[in-house]
């Protein structure tokens, strides 16, 4: 073979190598960023968020106090038709919730409220303690939103019964106060009871294809969802028995798929390098991530690494930090690269931690919900396939304005 023939042959081989790398890269990119499309009818969840019965009781209690018109003034008819007013200021004293077969995703709520009532009928006025037992049927409702998130709310279906006990009164005044409070329980409460917001799940950082919510037999709730990860992996259908707080189960494979999608959609970083996470193994306190650095331009190449790091709980969030790296493979002609710098420059770790944090309970409840939320992450565990996060959630009613305290 002549010298020029050899040169042309080597050039052809080089071009062929570059072309093969580009083809391999494009195939990997297409698979990673592919839209999985609508959820199939028989979809299996790759994540679940479980609420304990105690947490559900707390949410409904705060919802009643925030939205249920437990304070107010109403007109009333007293003895001999005398018109008057009844002003009530009550709080939830006890609440019990159990699943109900009344309707799909229904729960039966028994709530006791108590407090003081001021009354005035002509020249007669006074104050009396009251206790009211109310039965409610509520439905766990799901609505999809344009940003690929889902809102979960508790909607009151009906008031199932009201029993009023009034102390220190007799005669016609007692009957008038009882009648007005029964009317409030049966009509006004139902009319003014707004949906109780349990949270908005999913969104830009953690897009979802489908979500369902069901009441558990013990009065808790379980939210199952399917992410838009191109590589979803089911988490199973075991419902944990929680005495308090919440538990999040999410597929590590799905988190990896969302991270790979974010990284490859971001494209080339400095020096034309594209980062693709290819494997993820999270454990309590640490993680290992398999990583491929692509150079699809010029003399194309790839290098494979395993990046190790820490998983830390900081307040209400999970944080990942890369600490070390080990090279595991390379294509012919691959040049040296800095995988830790590439990880830091890309969205990979942020995509994973944002995906988990976005799914925490009530993470995106707006201030308009009248909630004050104190979210804490208690522990993080992992099996070979599933990341398990447990935590607490303290919910309290925001302080109402003076006008809301006495709205008619």
Structure confidence at residue 234 (pLDDT): 94
Structure confidence at residue 38 (pLDDT): 92
Note whether residue 11 is domain-resident: no
Structure confidence at residue 248 (pLDDT): 92
Confidence of residue 131 (pLDDT cuts 50, 70, 90): very high
Which residue in this structure is represented by tokens 């028995």?
241
Residue 90 has pLDDT above 90, yes or no: no
Note whether residue 226 is domain-resident: yes
121 and 62 in a common domain: no
129 and 269 in a common domain: no
Which residue in this structure is represented by tokens 């009065």?
219
Structure confidence at residue 5 (pLDDT): 37
> Mean per-residue pLDDT for 129-143?
92
Note whether residue 128 is domain-resident: yes
Residue 402 has pLDDT above 60, yes or no: no
Structure confidence at residue 209 (pLDDT): 94
273 and 386 in a common domain: yes
> Mean per-residue pLDDT for 121-137?
90
> Mean per-residue pLDDT for 62-86?
81
Q: Under DSSP, is residue 363 helix (H, G, I), strand (E, B) or coil?
A: coil
Task: Assess contact for 166 and 174: CB atoms under 8 A.
Answer: yes
373 and 242 in a common domain: yes
> Mean per-residue pLDDT for 74-82?
82
393 and 259 in a common domain: yes
Structure confidence at residue 408 (pLDDT): 36
Residue 378 has pLDDT above 60, yes or no: yes
Q: Under DSSP, is residue 376 helix (H, G, I), strand (E, B) or coil?
A: strand
Number of structural domains, the chain? 2
pLDDT (tens digit, 9 = 90+) per residue, 41-61?
999 999 999 999 999 998 888
Note whether residue 253 is domain-resident: yes
308 and 327 in a common domain: yes
Task: Assess contact for 32 and 257: CB atoms under 8 A.
Answer: yes
Output the DSSP codes for 226-286: EE--SS-----------SSSEEEEEEHHHHHHHHHHHHHHH---GGG-EEEEEEEEEETTE
183 and 316 in a common domain: no
Residue 278 has pLDDT above 90, yes or no: yes
Stretch among 99-103, 110-114, 157-161 having the lowest mean pLDDT: 99-103
Note whether residue 135 is domain-resident: yes
Task: Assess contact for 151 and 145: CB atoms under 8 A.
Answer: yes
> Mean per-residue pLDDT for 15-22?
66
Stretch (H or E) spanning 349: helix 348-358
Residue 1 has pLDDT above 50, yes or no: no
Confidence of residue 369 (pLDDT cuts 50, 70, 90): low
Residue 150 has pLDDT above 80, yes or no: yes
Structure confidence at residue 346 (pLDDT): 67
> Mean per-residue pLDDT for 97-102?
86
Structure confidence at residue 347 (pLDDT): 66
Q: Among 149, 173, 193, where does a domain finish?
A: 193
Note whether residue 147 is domain-resident: no
> Mean per-residue pLDDT for 374-393?
85
Note whether residue 85 is domain-resident: yes
Q: For residues 402 and 369, which has the higher predicted lDDT (pLDDT)?
A: 369
Structure confidence at residue 17 (pLDDT): 43
278 and 186 in a common domain: no
295 and 226 in a common domain: yes
300 and 276 in a common domain: yes
Structure confidence at residue 226 (pLDDT): 96
Q: For residues 17 and 180, which has the higher predicted lDDT (pLDDT)?
A: 180
pTM equals 0.82
111 and 219 in a common domain: no
Structure confidence at residue 7 (pLDDT): 36
Residue 8 has pLDDT above 70, yes or no: no
> Mean per-residue pLDDT for 248-273?
88
C-alpha span between 340 and 311 (Å, rounded): 16
Note whether residue 3 is domain-resident: no
Structure confidence at residue 3 (pLDDT): 41
314 and 165 in a common domain: no
Confidence of residue 401 (pLDDT cuts 50, 70, 90): very low
Structure confidence at residue 9 (pLDDT): 35
Stretch among 8-22, 84-98, 296-310 having the lowest mean pLDDT: 8-22
As beta bridge partners, residue 86 has 74, 119
Output the DSSP codes for 137-180: EEEEEEEE-TTSEEEEEEEEEEEEEEEEEE-S--HHHHHHHHHH
Confidence of residue 4 (pLDDT cuts 50, 70, 90): very low
Mean confidence (pLDDT) of the chain:
82
Q: Which domain covers residue 43, as residue numbers?
A: 20-68+195-400
């Amino acid at each position: 073979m002549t010298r020029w023939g050899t040169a042309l042959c080597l050039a052809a081989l080089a071009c062929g190598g570059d072309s093969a790398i580009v083809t391999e890269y494009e195939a990997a990119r297409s698979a990673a960023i592919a839209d999985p499309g609508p959820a199939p009818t028989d979809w299996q969840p790759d994540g679940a968020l479980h609420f304990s019965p105690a947490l559900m009781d707390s949410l409904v209690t705060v919802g009643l106090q925030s939205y249920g018109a437990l304070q107010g003034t109403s007109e009333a008819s007293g003895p001999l038709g005398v018109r008057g007013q009844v002003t009530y200021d009550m709080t939830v004293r006890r609440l019990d919730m159990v699943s109900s077969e009344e309707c799909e995703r229904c729960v039966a709520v028994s709530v006791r409220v108590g407090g003081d009532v001021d009354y005035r009928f002509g020249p007669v006025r006074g104050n009396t303690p009251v206790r009211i037992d109310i039965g409610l049927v509520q439905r766990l409702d799901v609505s999809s939103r344009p940003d690929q998130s889902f809102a979960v709310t508790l909607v009151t279906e009906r008031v199932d019964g009201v029993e009023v006990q009034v102390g220190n009164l007799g005669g016609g005044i007692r009957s008038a106060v009882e009648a007005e409070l029964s009317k409030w329980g049966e009509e006004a409460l139902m009319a003014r009871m707004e949906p109780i917001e349990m949270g908005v799940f999913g969104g830009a950082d953690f897009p979802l294809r489908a979500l369902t919510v069901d009441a558990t037999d013990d009065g808790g709730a379980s939210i199952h969802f399917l992410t838009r990860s191109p590589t979803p992996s089911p988490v199973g259908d075991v419902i944990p028995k929680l005495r308090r707080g919440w538990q999040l189960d999410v597929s590590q494979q799905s988190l990896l798929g969302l991270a790979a999608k974010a990284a490859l959609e971001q494209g080339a970083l400095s020096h034309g390098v594209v980062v693709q996470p290819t494997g993820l193994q999270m454990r309590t306190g640490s993680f290992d991530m398999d990583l491929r650095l692509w150079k699809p331009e010029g003399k194309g190449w790839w290098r494979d690494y395993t990046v190790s790091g820490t998983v830390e709980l900081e307040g209400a969030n999970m944080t990942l930090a890369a600490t070390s790296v080990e090279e595991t493979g390379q294509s012919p002609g691959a040049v040296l690269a800095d995988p830790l710098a590439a990880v830091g420059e890309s969205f990979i770790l942020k995509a994973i931690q944002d995906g988990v944090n976005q799914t925490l309970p009530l993470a995106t409840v707006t201030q308009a919900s009248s909630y004050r939320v104190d979210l804490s992450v208690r522990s993080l565990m992992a099996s070979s396939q599933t990341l398990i996060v447990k935590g607490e959630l303290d919910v309290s009613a925001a302080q109402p304005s003076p006008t809301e305290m006495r709205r008619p």
